[in-house]
Amino acid sequence: MPLDPTSLGAALNENLTLHTTLCRREAGSFQQAIQSGEDVVVACTQEKRLFTELAEQTVGASSPIRFVNIREMGGWSKDASKASPKIAALLAVAHLAEPEPVSTVTYKSAGRVLIIGDLATAERAAGLLGDELDISIFTQGTKNASNLLAMNLLAMQERQYPVLGGKIESLSGWLGAFELKWLRNNPIDLDVCTRCNACVTACPEDAIGLDYQVDMSLCTSHRSCVKACQVAGAIDFNRDAESSSDKFDLILDLRDVASINSDNGFTQHALPQGYFRWDGVDPKPLMSLRGLVGEFEKPKFFNYKQKLCAHSRNEKVGCNACIDVCSAKAISSEKDRQQIKVNPNLCVGCGSCTTVCPSGALTFAYPRASEQGVKLKTMLSTYARSGGKNAAVLLHSQEAGSKLLNALGRSAQINKTTQGVPARVLPVSLWHTSSVGLDVWLTAVAYGASQVWVLLTDEEAPQYRAALTEQMAVAQSILTGLGYTGEHFRLIEAKDIQDIAAVDTALQAPIAQVVSRNAGFAIQADKRATMELALDHLIEFAPANFTKPAVIAMPAKGSPLGAIVINKDACTMCLSCVNACPASALQDNVDSPQLKLVEKNCVQCGLCAKTCPENAITLIPQLNLAPSRKDPVVINEMKPYSCIRCSKPFGTLKAIEAMVGKLSGHSMFQGAAAERLKMCSDCRVIDMYSTTNESKITDI
């Protein structure tokens, strides 16, 4: 690679020495560095294992070591001669401190495994695991006995593992806490069965297989099996079905995926920790199972603030974005408590819920938004300071995404069949590509990025792609509406390494217009606050030769920005919408019947519209460029209605008239009772009391 240590050192404010054979003849320099106690960054990931082992063997080594790939990501491309600014940016990010620790989620597993599947395959799997794990088998599906006879498999079978059978009613849980509920509806009691196979031989319909389950669709009630089992007495067709349950630490599922549904297994894209599927060939699931005995921890990836949540108010459901996007089924609705519930044991840390959350009630905790912001700001500022221009930020996953980009770099250097990662493309590794969204993308553009691209591989769930597509449509609408030319946001899709040619072409996309001045603000913990900072900067430093509209229309779906329109003819100013609004976007006036909107607070959750008894509210996804979007603006007001007894205002003219009209035909609201509807609460009580006393005096 063409490396210039002088220019890189200047960008990093350090004196750098270039080592060309560090992992071999110059390894002593590495050992000397890690004995200094200062942070050490190794700009090579291929020899990470070698350097790690060398550090373990070095006496007095005390330095924290970080690794960064500047070869495939920068030096190995057709743009290698122009890649110094990018390499400086990658090195600067590698010097940043590790994310601060967060609270963790603990799993405990004693190694109790349930294998679900046909008995023969399940026992084969159990034989590979039973030396270290406690195995139970749930037989699932029968095999035709005649085929087994032909294979001479009717010899006496040793009962090595507990065998359960019946109909699975539910399977739930996670590592260390799985629960199986099933209906014991099999005529053969597997606890009593000796596996002598007499019933299999005796059955004329071949309805009994070597899993010792009776296929009732084949059985014609000959009951030959009952006679054959008289000694053991394991078969009883009159036995009542019995519900049973048991707990397990691990699950190995051998069933065909098509036969699994949400009632009897796990169908979500992100499977729970401790649940594995096995095709009978690939040994990886079995090896993974063997290692899951003991106590394990993972970060608690999210934070939740219920008071900001736009999911539910007054038994009305508004925003379901997080529930719909979660690929692990870790998020559920608690409508009675006006909130959602996130199960930290099922959460896989994809962060998609935090990306689609319009209010910021859900935030990504590891790494925090502020830490992601420092990373982006450091990368883009170092790149610009080193002479780089028109940076494109490429967000990719640290697993499949990194492998694909590594393959692209090697292809450019070795096979010369691709361009490689261009010098202006700054790769940013994420735990998951859907963990950042609109607020971070717009901030990156405000920091000076020309474009933000997201590399998707086959590890992403389909709903992630849909959510990111919606968010990108909103982000692009904003920049286009402000006069920035070009395509600033794009999803780049590749299933595997075979698609590197398509990725290579996508990375050569034309440059989009950048902001005229780079921002200096920091990403905030509050998502809406970050978005406002980014919007303010992008609006202020938008292209000067473009006449900005008063309002920028947003896509109908997925926009967290917008306003509401009130049908004044239908609205009665009951103000139920104010009570329902979780973001304080709707406000009232204690001194006058007024409804106010702070547009910048509106998250377009729809709770106000669903709560309104008159269906008088319509959502309008938009970005209002007027400064007034940050202030309370009156969107409806009415003449107050005064009490007919004391003249004190207690409602609106329209609301009282509507109430009187609706109750005019009711038998309970006639005469004096009807007049009380026009009184304030105090006068209503006084009038009722006075009327009661007058009635008593008359009776006397």
Indicate if 561-637 has the same CATH topology as 300-364: yes
Residues 41-60, mean pLDDT to the nearest whole number: 92
Length of the chain in terms of residues written: 700
Question: Per-residue pLDDT for 246 more than 90?
Answer: yes
Quote the CA–CA distance of 440 and 525 in Å, as a whole number.
11
What confidence tens digit (pLDDT) does each residue in 645-665 have?
A: 998 888 888 888 888 888 888
Band of the pLDDT at 697, cuts 50, 70, 90? low
Question: Per-residue pLDDT for 155 more than 50?
Answer: no
Residues 238-260, mean pLDDT to the nearest whole number: 93
Note whether 209 and 143 are within 8 A (CB).
Answer: yes
Tell me whether residue 112 is exposed, middle or buried, using C-beta atoms within 10 angstroms of its C-beta: 0 to 12, 13 to 18, 19 or more.
middle
Helix (H, G, I), strand (E, B) or coil at 690: helix
Q: What residues have CB less than 8 Å from 579, skipping those under 6 apart? A: 313, 314, 611
Both structure tokens of 697: 């005096």
What confidence tens digit (pLDDT) does each residue in 547-565 have?
A: 889 999 999 999 999 999 9
Note whether 431 and 368 are within 8 A (CB).
Answer: no
Band of the pLDDT at 150, cuts 50, 70, 90? very low
Largest CA distance in the chain: 118
Quote the CA–CA distance of 43 and 3 in Å, as a whole number.
12
Task: Choose the weakest-confidence range: 144-158, 171-185, 231-245.
Answer: 144-158
Nearest 5 degrees, angle CA 81-CA 83-CA 84? 100
Task: Choose the weakest-confidence range: 189-198, 325-334, 497-506.
Answer: 189-198
Question: Per-residue pLDDT for 699 more than 80?
Answer: no
CATH code for the part of the protein at 561-637: 3.30.70.3270
Question: Per-residue pLDDT for 144 more than 70?
Answer: no
What confidence tens digit (pLDDT) does each residue in 409-451 have?
A: 999 999 899 999 999 999 999 989 999 999 999 999 999 999 9
Quote the CA–CA distance of 311 and 207 in Å, as a whole number.
51
> Percent of the chain beyond pLDDT 70?
96
Say which residue, 594 or 548, is predicted with more confidence.
Answer: 594
Question: Per-residue pLDDT for 332 more than 60?
Answer: yes
Question: Per-residue pLDDT for 36 more than 60?
Answer: yes
Strand bridging mode 250-253 / 112-117: parallel
> Percent of the chain beyond pLDDT 90?
67
Quote the CA–CA distance of 290 and 107 in Å, as a whole number.
15
Residue 193 backbone phi and psi in degrees, to 5: -55, 135
Sheet architecture: strand order including 425-430? 425-430, 392-397, 451-456, 489-493
What is the structure's pLDDT at 211? 77
Amino acid occupying residue 532 = E
What is the structure's pLDDT at 695? 58
Q: Which residues, in sequence order, are bridge partners of residue 11?
A: none
Average pLDDT, the chain: 91
Q: What residues have CB less than 8 Å from 230, skipping those under 6 apart? A: none
Question: Per-residue pLDDT for 72 more than 60?
Answer: yes
CA distance to 267, 499, 518, 639, per residue, from 496 (Å): 23, 6, 36, 65
Question: Per-residue pLDDT for 158 more than 80?
Answer: no
Q: Which residue stretches of 260-346 are H helix?
A: 284-290, 321-325
Band of the pLDDT at 694, cuts 50, 70, 90? low
Question: Per-residue pLDDT for 146 more than 80?
Answer: no
Nearest alpha-carbon partner for 348 in 622, 130, 105:
105
Quote the CA–CA distance of 100 and 295 in Å, as a whole number.
22
Residues 384-389, mean pLDDT to the nearest whole number: 95
What confidence tens digit (pLDDT) does each residue in 276-297 have?
A: 999 988 889 999 999 999 999 9
Question: Per-residue pLDDT for 677 more than 50?
Answer: yes
Say which residue, 674 or 248, is predicted with more confidence.
Answer: 248
Residues 157-177, mean pLDDT to the nearest whole number: 87
Band of the pLDDT at 606, cuts 50, 70, 90? very high
Note whether 688 and 696 are within 8 A (CB).
Answer: no
Measure CA of the first residue to CA of the last residue in the chain; give whole Å.
111
What is the structure's pLDDT at 693? 67
What confidence tens digit (pLDDT) does each residue in 390-412 have?
A: 999 999 999 999 999 999 999 99
CATH code for the part of the protein at 108-296: 3.50.50
Question: Per-residue pLDDT for 688 more than 80?
Answer: yes
Q: How many CA atoms lie within 13 A of 92 on its CB side?
A: 26
What confidence tens digit (pLDDT) does each residue in 342-379 have?
A: 999 999 999 999 999 999 999 999 888 899 999 999 99
| Other Cβ atoms within 10 Å of 15 Cβ, number | 9
Both structure tokens of 108: 């405990």
What confidence tens digit (pLDDT) does each residue in 109-120 have?
A: 999 999 999 888
Enumerate the domain spans of the chain: 1-67, 70-99+367-538, 108-296, 300-364, 561-637, 642-699
What is the structure's pLDDT at 156? 43
Quote the CA–CA distance of 302 and 373 in Å, as a whole number.
17
SS (H, E, C) 552-619: EECCCCCCCCEEEEECCCCCCCCCHHHHHCCCCCEEECCCCCEEEECHHHCCCCCHHHHHCCCCCEEE
**Single pTM value for the model:** 0.87
Note whether 523 and 370 are within 8 A (CB).
Answer: yes
Nearest alpha-carbon partner for 396 in 295, 503, 322, 291:
503
Say which residue, 697 or 381, is predicted with more confidence.
Answer: 381
Nearest alpha-carbon partner for 394 in 138, 89, 34, 37:
89
Quote the CA–CA distance of 519 and 537 in Å, as a whole number.
7
So what CATH class is 300-364?
alpha beta
